[in-house]
């Protein structure tokens, strides 16, 4: 199950842990990524707060936490190979995993059809 934010993050839920990354649309808008900064494992994230940074040759952009929770894992490959975030953002370019502290927050996220309508 994929869910999306209006800030162009996606999350895929597996049990009570969600994998988070940026959408294809965001990756296209950013262009070639040259730097990725991820949260630390064990960090507590707050929905809507900056959780990570992706930087391209065009600009640096915050990646916002789509839900509250604790970071359980980060994609070290995204740090050492930031281009993977741009070329496969919803696959090998995932950013981090977070254990949800309030699963009801998923209700406020968009499904794929709603996100596609948002980005046109």
Query: Which residues lie closer than 8 Å to 28 by C-beta, 6 or more apart?
Result: none
pLDDT tens digit string along 27-70? Answer: 999 999 999 999 999 999 999 999 999 999 988 999 999 999 99
Mean pLDDT of the chain: 96
Q: Which domains does the chain have, with CATH numbers?
A: 2-119 (2.40.50.100)
pLDDT tens digit string along 17-32? Answer: 999 999 999 999 999 9
Cα–Cα distance between 55 and 78 in angstroms, integer? 12
pLDDT tens digit string along 69-109? Answer: 999 999 999 999 999 999 999 999 999 999 999 999 999 99
pTM: 0.95
Cβ atoms of residues 54 and 33 within 8 Å = yes
């Amino acid at each position: 199950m994929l869910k999306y934010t209006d800030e162009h993050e996606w999350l895929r839920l597996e049990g009570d842990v969600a994998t988070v990354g940026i959408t294809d649309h965001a990756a296209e808008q950013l262009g070639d990524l040259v730097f990725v900064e991820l949260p630390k494992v064990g960090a507590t994230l707050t929905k809507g707060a900056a959780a990570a940074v992706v930087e391209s040759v065009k600009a640096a952009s915050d990646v916002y936490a789509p839900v509250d929770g604790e970071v359980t894992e980060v994609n070290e490959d995204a740090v050492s190979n930031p281009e993977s975030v741009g070329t496969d953002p919803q696959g090998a370019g995932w950013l981090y995993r977070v254990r949800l502290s309030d699963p009801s927050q998923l209700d406020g996220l968009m499904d794929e059809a709603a996100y596609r309508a948002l980005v046109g």
